[in-house]
Amino acid sequence: MKQLRPFPQATITKKGARAIEAGHPWVFDAEVLSLTPAPLDGCEAQNGDVVDVLDEKGAYLGTGLISFNSKIRVRLITRNANDKFDEAFWERKVRWAWEYRKAVMGGNATLQQQNSPSSTQETGKHTWRDLDCCRIIFSEADAFCGLIVDRYGDILVAECLTVGMDKLAPVILPLLVKVMREDGEKICAVYLRNDAKIREKEGLGLTKGWLGHPSLTIPESTRIRTSENGILYEIDLENSQKTGLFLDQKYNRQVVSRLAAGKRVLDCFTHVGTFALNAARGGAAYVHGIDISQAAIDAARNHATLNGFDRFVEFTCANAFDFLQELDEAGGRFNGKPFDFIILDPPAFTKNRKTIYEAVRGYRQINYRAMHMLPRGGYLATCSCSHFFDDKLMRETLAQAAHDANIQLKQIEARQQAPDHPIVWGIPETSYLKFFVFQII
């Protein structure tokens, strides 16, 4: 006899069932054939509620959270029919996410940081851990569809992007703090950055503020100081982009740091100066960062001063496309000298399939300019953070730019995002960052 469960049931198409069986956690609205009340009590699903997902024959496929405002109607949180969605369930899930980060981002590191203030300024050393500044929960990749949590020292910053996770955040986030504290981690507060426009597609409002909970404090300021790769940053949690820093490039910035010694470095789309500062820490002779946002440039300059790099690191507020074109037309010389290392870290030029070819033109243009002006033997670090602009298209675009610039590319590394942003096979949206390092020959 079929066992009845106390949840509404969404019966989906064969196409939807195949996607779930292949590992993808989404059910689109067009794939839902019917939505019936909970069989035990006849209650209909409310926005954000737990629902069981069944195939056309009634076989159980998984359980997820429903959204009536989104084209993604159900996002799965489990495929185990025996799960009970109590605090123990959510604590188990946050523990899995935390244990994974301890495994892939754990360990202490002590580095010699010249010209930089630090927690042990007398010895010139700064002790840091990758766990102190990393992503703890990454949405679908951790089966928390629509929840992102980043850590900056003793503060967590969370984004709830779906109605289901928005309803559950008051339960999940304190449990995450509890689990981390049990491991000796000093987490004192959680800041909610629930101001992403995508929330409106879920019927949610846009808000920001500290999470109120008896176990948490409410700091006086949203300005905090944190360290990544041994570099100090001051972040305004309330007004920064997303949660504060783009942590997915952490280890790619280390690659740049290793290659930068003695070089003149141009960092395009520098944001708050992260790649530029890593190049400086690696011993670059001179670094120049550009970004179209004056607020980002002001923050980058502050970070250069904070780390003692302001003597040889400069920033300019400029449109990167215009700057690269003008520099290329001037023979690639800036203040009389060429750059021999250029970094291109643009924002996503496309967030859907309809604008892919516009993105191709953008990526091709900036990479052509960089390749054309770099001297033979120079270095290029270039990337794309758009899921829709996939690896194959990225490689084709770079190859065409190299052909147009009449150069060859010697690949040094091909990388992706840091492992605290895990890639789950079967969920292609979790694989989005392409990062290449080349020598120009």
Q: How far apart (Å, rounded) are the C-alpha atoms in residues 38 and 44?
A: 6
What is the Cα–Cα distance from 276 to 253, expressed in whole angstroms? 9
DSSP structural state of residue 217 = -
**For the residues of 53-111, what is the DSSP string, one character each?**
EE-TT--EEEEEEE-SSSSEEEEEEE--TT---SHHHHHHHHHHHHHHHHHHH-SEEEE
CB 224 within 8 A of CB 153: yes
Distance CA 61, CA 54 (A): 5
Q: What is the DSSP annotation of 211-236? A: PP-TT----S-SEEEEEETTEEEEEE
CB 41 within 8 Å of CB 6: yes
End-to-end CA distance of the chain: 70
The whole-angstrom separation of Cα 297 and Cα 354 is 32
Based on the number of CB atoms within 10 Å of its own CB, is 22 exposed (0-12), middle (13-18) or buried (19 or more)?
exposed
CA distance 190 to 217: 8
Q: Which of 133, 145, 383, 385 is catalytic?
A: 385
Tokens standing for residue 183: 């491991």
Q: Does residue 145 carry a catalytic annotation?
A: no
**Closest to 208 measured CA to CA, from 195, 217, 199:** 195
Backbone region of residue 66 per phi and psi (left: phi > 0; alpha: psi in -120 to 50; beta: other values): beta
Spatial separation of the C-alpha atoms in residues 7 and 99, rounded to whole Å? 30
Which among 328, 326, 335, 252 has a CA at the least distance from the CA of 286?
A: 335
* 330: exposed, middle or buried (Cβ count in 10 Å: 0-12, 13-18, 19+): exposed
Active site residues per annotation: 385
